[in-house]
Amino acid sequence: MSEKTDITLTINGKDYAIAVEPRRTLADAIREDCGQTGTHIGCEHGVCGACTVIVDDAPVRSCLMFAVQAEGRNIRTVEGLATGDTLHPMQQAFMDNHGLQCGFCTPGFLMLAVGVLEREPNISDEALLDVLSSNLCRCTGYQNIIKSVRAAAQEMRK
Amino acid sequence: MSAHTKGSGGDGMKWVGRSIRRLEDPALVRGRGRFTADLPAAHWVRIVRSPNAAGKIKGITAPDGAMVITAADIKGVKKITPMLHKFNYRPVGQPILADGEVRFVGEAIAAVVASSEEEAEDIADLVEIDIEDATALVDSRAAIEAGAPQIHAEAPGNVILKGEVKTPGFDEVWASAAKVIRIDARSNRQNATPMEARAAHAAYDAVTGRVTLHCTAQMPHLMRTAIADCIGMPESELRVIAPDVGGGFGQKMSLCVEYVLVTWLARHLKSSVGWTEDRRENLIASFHSRDQYVTLEGAFDKDAKLLALRADVLSNVGAYSCFPTTSGVEPLMAMAEMPGPYDFQHYQCLARGVLTNTCTMAAYRGVSRPVITFTLERLMDKAAKAFAIDPVDIRRQNLIVKFPYKSATGLEFDEATYRETMEMAVEAINLPVFRARQQLARDRGEYLGVGFATFSERTGYGSPAFAARGMEITPGWETVHVTVDPSGFVEARIGSSPHGQGLRTTLAQIIADEIGIPPEMIKVIHGDTDTAPYGWGTFASRSLVISGGATLIAARKIRAKLIKIAGHMLEAAETDIVLEDGKAKVAGTDREVTIAKMAREAYTQTHRFKGEIEPGLTESGTYDPPGTFSNACHVALVRVDPETGHVKVERYLVAEDAGRIINPMIADGQVHGGVAQGIGNALLEEIIYDESGAILTANLADYMPPTAHEIPPIELHHMEIPSTQSITKAKGLGEGGTIGPPAAVLNAINDALTPFGVEIDTIPATPQRIRAALRAAPRNAERAP
Amino acid sequence: MKPAPFVRHVPRTLEEALATLAEVAGEDGRVLAGGQSLVPIMAFRLAKPAHLVDINEVEGLDRLVDDGKTLTIGACVRHGAFHRPVTDNPLGALLSYVARHIAHYPIRMRGTFCGSLAHADPSSEWCLTVATLDAVMVAMSVKGAREIKAADYFDGIMSTHLKEDELLAEVRLPLLADDAKFGFYEFSRRAGDFAMAASLVTYRLEGNKIVDAHVGVGGAEPSPRRIPEAEAALNGKAPGDAAFRAAGEAASAAIDPLEDHQTDAAYRRDLVRVVVRRALEHSA
């Protein structure tokens, strides 16, 4: 154990005042200290991407950042994607195109795809495939994830 | 891309056969799934695992003041000892915590309990384990050598089971062969790698004295039975919940020591206790699979007709036997299903399960069939080459075409479309055009290949089929309770335990058609032993067939009761009642009553039924079918880079007959995912041990599930021949996608490499292995760059 | 898989950072920049630094300057900064092309150029880049700044000649000639994985003859480096299959191959032969 530090994390526009050890990863802090369990942890070494969140407009692995480093930054997680009852086009596209099965990797894929498309709305299909190879899914064989993200990209460009 | 060929599926059904959106998804896409690791706990467990593959534990020293549980603390807890009453099976027990001896790297030795995961891990780092190292047996061939160390006293020679079969007259037929073709195939070890690793959370309720265990299970009821047995507690004091589960693929089917431990700790501490497996633990200490050597010989007559098969299956089962299937799951599946879709009646097989100092082997999607299909389909391609005929032609020559058919091992195939699906695939791939393209490419120094795999997938089998294996625990049947509640909404409580398969949607589609309400009004409840009927869970491509069948039976009873109630309420003959659009209508009139109103009366106005109709609106269905066979032809088109050994799968095609498809979108998704795992199996994924028994692939950079980049577009063609052995006419298809790729991809690689005169019969076909073969190739000097 | 405890220091200025580093260097203190290499090994507890000097809040370390001769890359410049060319000099296009091969998009949003060099994975694309282009590393400590040539910087697998109290404050990459050509090729089993061999090449043409060839090889030896034998096979030759093959052969023969449980020396040599030739083909 080491000393805990008081920090405030801003997740989906809401402030969470928490006390964490410096070693607490952002992923653990989001889930356990802030109770936002939609962000999942799949490997804790930066390969699977299940924990992907958006920090200050960039999709990042929240298992490879410490919570203390995220203080004062704008953190977005899957819970903040929808606007009230209206799903984000990416969420809707995943539902429409069967882009998920067990749903465990889904929040990471949603945040990855939204994060990249917000930065690069006109990204080519080929570059998008490169982006989607960032995260692992074991259920879908990626076919319908790619289809979903391409459909949402169209929608987001409108 | 998908093309559905309509069989006789569409007999006036409204919901079945439609790609409706999944009822599971709205929560999951919002991040509102509920997974085991999401639960807070008062205590967290970190397992101290063995760094040695074999040895005696001389001492365990815990830091002062720490809570560290060892075997000595849980003396009353029984070992996990699965049992098989056949095949010379030697029962071996797995202690919940290593008791005096360790048998694989990663085996649980002690459990640290602390207030956070971090703290528990800090303490675990300080626990000193003194082990007197012994010689580790890693390879199954080494383990059966004379004089090899004995891993369990109960299993002499380290052979835990041995199955043998030989059909009468085998030797005569064998002697008559024109050619005998042989393959020595090697399937290396895999890990199913669900994206959610395992987790358990047990909470003690001081009021009732009960423990609620949330865990990542595919068989929650059997977990309850088995954990209660180990601990020696009444099952009624344990509630097991499999909440949202992030993929299983067989790995979450077997009982693991950690579930027992966490349950014991919750009772011991009278509190809540959590354990979340990390990825390293998952890779070294959950369950492995597919570590097999298979030698297969085929005796052919002069016309390339297969007469007989002879197989030797050596299955590395690891250090213990998995519960409930036992370590027979792989070798015995191999023995029973090796003959595949081919027409011949003579078969000899020796199948052995061999104990080693490695992680315990258990079921993984496809169970042995990816390996035996790879072996048999490579054999057929080798035979085609030996007879100088096309790989498709040798299959045309040998596939079973007349049904019903009884195989050499006594399996009864009610019907199958091996030949038809293959022809469908051959046409879709346009083989002559591909061959021309392949030749042009070779002239440019590019190596393309095509590979076929035809196979049969036994699915949806009930207790009679499992009973043939002689398992102490014989699963099979499923029960479903369907209730129309007083508001007119429907609940179906099922014993299956889906974790990504979309069963909440497909079962709702089945019910919707029977009682004429939309699927959105139907909730399928599963995974909680307090609310779901006892059942066997989700594995072995069974749930849609068996739970689906039980659902249909229950829904038909509900339908009959609703018609009876409507007859009373509308004063009409039952034969005139039609259920549709949420109403019962009297045909040819405008008289109708809503299901909601009927349901309300079924509970609150029962006196009106004059004792002719039982109160309430709940019906139960149980289904225990004989089993049915899906079949498919897979085709892989690959490009092999002979300079690096890299293989790119450029196109993948599946022509499959899975009977009636309840939801084509979900069915396609199952096949996609299976194919991707199969391609990983064929090219990428391998658990590697060094000679000392340490795992060299303990992270997701070294153990390599495919990414979106490695999986090509998968093209699906369905042939919907309704099953006669399944009341929904559906066949299972959960595993089929995984079974075909190692065979199709390896056949394609070998086709591509034909000019070099090399053959690759090892999976995964890594670039290192391909380059090594090419370097040693006889024609390397001329052709290889 | 949680990191062991550590004390985090958050300096705001370079001086403060160096002072802190000097203080904690003796007590297993390390610099935390992007964390994309360090945090995974901390998660596996292969590294248990007692102190982390988090330089993400230090002013000015995200400096990225082209002064007409040199491109200077500060300690906190992230891989993603190179997604688009950072200079009109051909170096901009080179860095942009190479950057796209580094791990995956989210990793590139956090990981830093200098962090990769400090971590010194044999397969790192940036390590290969600085070795091939003869970059200069600027190491700073409370004692002052020290320039280290790329050829003197690496010290084997995940090891450099940086001292414990030194921060790799910036890297200076010489701009390429305006007519310079470059090529890059790497081989890995999956998209985004560490390369099993990689090559970066630059050269110019004088009257259809290759001059000033730089042939770098990474992932094949404990540290990436230029391969003089391969460069000799190119200089003075016309670009094309014969010269490119000769360079690949020369590189393959010249290396002292890294071996691991899946990759023997022969295979590593196979890959080097291929990646060098393909990098050259990519340049043409």
If you write DSSP's letter for every residue of C158-218 in order, what string do you get? T-BS--TT-EEEEEEEEPPPTT-EEEEEEE-SSTTSPPSEEEEEEEEEETTEEEEEEEEEE
Tell me which DSSP letter residue B21 carries.
P
Interface of C with A (CB under 8 A): 1-8, 35-36, 39-40, 42-44, 52, 54, 56, 80, 100, 104-107, 109-110, 190-192
Q: How far apart are CA B259 and CA B224, in angstroms?
A: 10
Tell me which DSSP letter residue B74 carries.
G
Given a cut of 60, is residue B784 above it in pLDDT? no
Q: How far apart are CA C163 and CA C139, in angstroms?
A: 8
Q: How far is B169 from chain A (nearest CA, A)?
A: 45
- β-partners of residue C145 are C140
Interface test with B, best of C2, C36, C45, C263 (most B CBs within 10 A): C2
Q: How far is B313 from chain C (nearest CA, A)?
A: 25
Would you call B33 and A38 a contact, using CB atoms and an 8 Å cutoff? yes
Instruction: Choose among A2, A25, A60: nearest Cβ to C110.
Output: A60
Name the residue in chain A with its Cα closest to that of B119.
A1
- β-partners of residue B471 are B84
Given a cut of 90, is residue B654 above it in pLDDT? yes
Chain A residues touching C40 at Cβ < 8 A: 45-46, 64
Q: How far apart are CA B773 and CA B766, in angstroms?
A: 11
**Token duo for residue C265:** 């020396």
CA-based R_g, chain C, Å:
19
Given a cut of 80, is residue A110 above it in pLDDT? yes
CA quadruple C190, C192, C197, C201: dihedral, nearest 10: 130
Cβ contacts from A onto C, under 8 A = 87
Would you call C261 and B775 a contact, using CB atoms and an 8 Å cutoff? no
pLDDT (tens digit per residue) in B131-163: 999 999 999 999 999 999 999 999 999 999 999
Task: State the pLDDT at residue B785.
Answer: 45
Would you call A1 and B194 a contact, using CB atoms and an 8 Å cutoff? no
Would you call B707 and C266 a contact, using CB atoms and an 8 Å cutoff? no
Task: State the pLDDT at residue A2.
Answer: 76
The answer to whether residue C145 neighbours chain B at the CB level (below 8 Å) is no
pLDDT (tens digit per residue) in B517-557: 999 999 999 999 999 999 999 998 999 999 999 999 999 99
- Expressed in percent and rounded to 5, the helix, strand and coil fractions of chain A are 40, 20, 40
Task: State the pLDDT at residue B5.
Answer: 35
Q: How far apart are CA B193 and CA A70, in angstroms?
A: 30
Q: How confident is the model at residue B12 (pLDDT cuts 50, 70, 90)?
A: low
Q: Report the pLDDT averaged over residues C5-29.
A: 96
Task: Tell me the ipTM for this assembly.
Answer: 0.98
Using an 8 Å Cβ cutoff, are B350 and B308 in contact?
no
Q: How confident is the model at residue B782 (pLDDT cuts 50, 70, 90)?
A: very low
Using an 8 Å Cβ cutoff, are C169 and C163 in contact?
no
What backbone phi and psi angles, to 5 degrees, belong to B341? -95, 15
Given a cut of 80, is residue B114 above it in pLDDT? yes
Chains with 3 or more CB pairs closer than 8 angstroms to B? A, C
Apex CA B172: angle with CA B171 and CA B176, to 5°?
Answer: 115
Q: How far apart are CA B92 and CA B154, in angstroms?
A: 6
Q: How far apart are CA B538 and CA B496, in angstroms?
A: 5
Q: How far is B331 from chain A (nearest CA, A)?
A: 25
Would you call C194 and B118 a contact, using CB atoms and an 8 Å cutoff? no
Q: How far is C259 from chain A (nearest CA, A)?
A: 23
Residues B445-465 as b or e (16 or more Cβ within 10 Å = b)? eebbbbbbbbbbbbbbbbeeb
The residues, ordered by sequence, that sit 6+ positions from B388 with a Cβ below 8 Å of its Cβ are none
Task: State the pLDDT at residue A1.
Answer: 63
Would you call B673 and A23 a contact, using CB atoms and an 8 Å cutoff? no
DSSP readout, B136-159? ---SHHHHTSTTPPPS-TTSGGGE
Q: How far is A72 from chain B (nearest CA, A)?
A: 23
Interface test with A, best of C6, C27, C51, C109 (most A CBs within 10 A): C109
Q: What is the percent of chain C where pLDDT is above 90?
A: 99
As a whole number, the mean pLDDT across chain B is 95
Would you call B246 and A36 a contact, using CB atoms and an 8 Å cutoff? no
Q: How far apart are CA B619 and CA C127, in angstroms?
A: 68
Interface test with A, best of B1, B20, B21, B28 (most A CBs within 10 A): B28
Chain A residues touching B34 at Cβ < 8 A: 37
Name the residue in chain A with its Cα closest to that of B737.
A141
| Other Cβ atoms closer than 10 A to C254 | 19
Q: How confident is the model at residue C284 (pLDDT cuts 50, 70, 90)?
A: confident
Q: How far apart are CA B335 and CA B408, in angstroms?
A: 11
Q: What is the percent of chain B where pLDDT is above 70?
A: 98
Chain C residues touching B767 at Cβ < 8 A: 189, 267
Q: How far apart are CA A110 and CA B29, in angstroms?
A: 8
| pLDDT greater at residue B12 or residue C105 | C105
pLDDT (tens digit per residue) in C222-265: 999 999 999 999 999 999 999 999 999 999 999 999 999 889 99
Q: How confident is the model at residue B3 (pLDDT cuts 50, 70, 90)?
A: very low
Q: How confident is the model at residue B567 (pLDDT cuts 50, 70, 90)?
A: very high
Would you call B704 and C2 a contact, using CB atoms and an 8 Å cutoff? no
Q: How confident is the model at residue B777 (pLDDT cuts 50, 70, 90)?
A: confident
Would you call B500 and A103 a contact, using CB atoms and an 8 Å cutoff? yes
As a whole number, the mean pLDDT across chain A is 97
CA neighbor of B333 nearest in space, from B119, B60, B541, B102: B541
Would you call C105 and A130 a contact, using CB atoms and an 8 Å cutoff? yes
Using an 8 Å Cβ cutoff, are B728 and B665 in contact?
no
Chain A residues touching B24 at Cβ < 8 A: 103
Q: Are strands C70-74 and C64-66 parallel, antiparallel or unpaired?
A: antiparallel
Q: How far apart are CA B688 and CA B189, in angstroms?
A: 7
Would you call A59 and C105 a contact, using CB atoms and an 8 Å cutoff? yes
Cβ contacts from A onto B, under 8 A = 168
Name the residue in chain A with its Cα closest to that of B714.
A143
CA neighbor of B731 nearest in space, from B455, B545, B546, B549: B545
- SS3 state of residue B595: helix
Would you call A46 and C39 a contact, using CB atoms and an 8 Å cutoff? yes
**Token duo for residue B349:** 């097989």
Using an 8 Å Cβ cutoff, are B100 and B123 in contact?
no
The residues, ordered by sequence, that sit 6+ positions from B630 with a Cβ below 8 Å of its Cβ are B456, B457, B459, B541, B656, B657, B658, B659, B731, B732, B733, B736
- SS3 state of residue C31: strand
Name the residue in chain A with its Cα closest to that of C193.
A47
Q: Is B128 exposed, middle or buried (0-12, 13-18, 19+ CB in 10 A)?
A: exposed
Q: Are strands A74-76 and A58-61 parallel, antiparallel or unpaired?
A: unpaired
The runs of H, that is alpha helices, within B571-653 are: 595-604
Q: Report the pLDDT averaged over residues B253-262.
A: 97
Q: Report the pLDDT averaged over residues B676-684.
A: 98
Given a cut of 90, is residue A101 above it in pLDDT? yes
**Token duo for residue C241:** 């299959």
Q: How far apart are CA B584 and CA B571, in angstroms?
A: 12
- Expressed in percent and rounded to 5, the helix, strand and coil fractions of chain C are 35, 25, 40
Element (H, E) at C253: helix C241-254
CA neighbor of B739 nearest in space, from B679, B660, B683, B684: B679
CB-side exposure of B430: number of CA atoms within 13 Å? 6
What one-letter code names the amino acid at B723?
Answer: S
Task: State the pLDDT at residue B779.
Answer: 60
Interface of B with C (CB under 8 A): 117-118, 121-122, 125, 278-280, 643-646, 684, 688, 690, 696, 699, 701, 704, 706-710, 766-768, 771-772, 775
Interface test with B, best of C37, C39, C121, C267 (most B CBs within 10 A): C267
Q: How far is B645 from chain C (nearest CA, A)?
A: 9
Q: How far is B448 from chain C (nearest CA, A)?
A: 19
CA neighbor of A50 nearest in space, from A140, A130, A136, A118: A136
Name the residue in chain C with its Cα closest to that of A56.
C109
Using an 8 Å Cβ cutoff, are C217 and C198 in contact?
yes
pLDDT (tens digit per residue) in B503-522: 999 999 999 999 999 999 99
CA neighbor of C200 nearest in space, from C57, C93, C86, C108: C93
Would you call A61 and C8 a contact, using CB atoms and an 8 Å cutoff? no
Chain A residues touching B500 at Cβ < 8 A: 101-103, 139
Element (H, E) at B119: helix B117-126
Q: Report the pLDDT averaged over residues C94-118.
A: 98
Chain B residues touching C5 at Cβ < 8 A: 118, 122
- How far CA B428 is from CA of B377, B432, B531, B654, B738, in Å, comes to 20, 11, 47, 10, 21
Would you call A58 and C2 a contact, using CB atoms and an 8 Å cutoff? no
Would you call A45 and B700 a contact, using CB atoms and an 8 Å cutoff? yes
Using an 8 Å Cβ cutoff, are B493 and B531 in contact?
yes
Using an 8 Å Cβ cutoff, are B593 and B583 in contact?
yes
- β-partners of residue B579 are B584
**Token duo for residue C25:** 């260097």
pLDDT (tens digit per residue) in C86-105: 999 999 999 999 999 999 99
Would you call C5 and B118 a contact, using CB atoms and an 8 Å cutoff? yes
Using an 8 Å Cβ cutoff, are C132 and C275 in contact?
no
Q: How far is A83 from chain C (nearest CA, A)?
A: 25
What one-letter code names the amino acid at B213?
Answer: L
Q: How far apart are CA C178 and CA B556, in angstroms?
A: 79
Tell me which DSSP letter residue C27 carries.
G
As a whole number, the mean pLDDT across chain C is 97
Cis peptide leading into residue B324 (ω within 30°): yes
